[in-house]
Amino acid sequence: MNGPLAEMFRYNRWANLTLLDACRGLTSETLTVKPPGLSGTIGEILIHIVGGQQSFILRTKGRQHEGEMNRETPWPGIDIVIKVATVTSDELLVVAEELDQDRDVELPYLGTIYRYPLSFFLVHAFEHGVEHRTEVKVGLGQLGITTPDLDGWAYADAMGYG
């Protein structure tokens, strides 16, 4: 078991669910606004976060493009987004826990086989989550909406550390 790596993905799960829970009360107007500097609307980015996790999990298995949620996915409702976030966060955590020895993953794309260390997809998943959760927080802040603290100290407090 890779405990330290798994801790990173316990944080990822907590941060995803904390942010999504804070978004429960957002209006459809707020979800469809694209604040300046953001890569999409608030709703699109939330879907992109969880759809990205679906993609990263598939890629750890050498698969991709199997109907994952993406920015073009119509808003399914916050409960569905939270459900997908929970499932995919848990799946990433299992991959992290079980990664004692890195191994190559063969990923076919447009007739070519690309090889990546499995750990790369975990790095990408972790960075992707931080980047886009921050993007949502910045956008909501621009709209005057208070967002949750997702830093390491808030996580430590939530986990009862210290």
pTM of the shown model: 0.96
- The phi, psi pair for 114, rounded to 5°, reads -105, 145
> How far is 108 from 123, CA to CA, in rounded Å?
20
**pLDDT tens column, 44-60:** 999 999 999 999 999 99
**pLDDT tens column, 86-141:** 999 999 999 999 999 999 999 999 999 999 999 999 999 999 999 999 999 999 99
**With respect to CATH, is domain 3-159 assigned 1.20.120.450?**
yes
Give domain limits for the chain: 3-159
Strand 104-109 and strand 112-117: the pairing is: antiparallel
46: left (phi over 0), alpha (psi -120 to 50) or beta: alpha
In this predicted structure, the answer to whether residue 1 has a pLDDT above a threshold of 90 is no
Angle between helices 118-142 and 42-60 (to 10 degrees): 170
Contacts of 39 (CB under 8 A, 6+ apart): 45, 48, 135
